[in-house]
Amino acid sequence: MKVYQVHLKQRQQTLLHDNQISLLENLEQHQIAHEYQCRSGYCGACRAKMLQGSVHYRQPPLAFLQPDEILLCCCQLEQDIVLDL
């Protein structure tokens, strides 16, 4: 399984991520709090601004997203990313 780097720009911290769990769960495992509600891509509460990188979704999320936003609960990384967190 490919391991990606997730750089959190505001925190100046880099996490490793392998898509086995969600980015939201990865943040929680590192004691980094971020808002969430449904954990399914419906509500959009876990949206985050992606400054660099690429993700995809197994199913298109129902939440409305700007082109530079991702849902931490359900996106899958395609490459290393930089988040405005």
Domain ranges within the chain, ordered by starting residue: 4-83
- Euclidean distance between CA atoms 2 and 71, whole angstroms: 20
Is the CB of residue 18 less than 8 Å from the CB of residue 25? no
Please provide the CATH number assigned to the domain covering 4-83: 3.10.20.30
pLDDT tens for 3-13 read: 999 999 999 99
Phi and psi torsions of 28, nearest 5°:
-60, -40
pLDDT tens for 42-75 read: 999 999 999 999 999 999 999 999 999 999 999 9
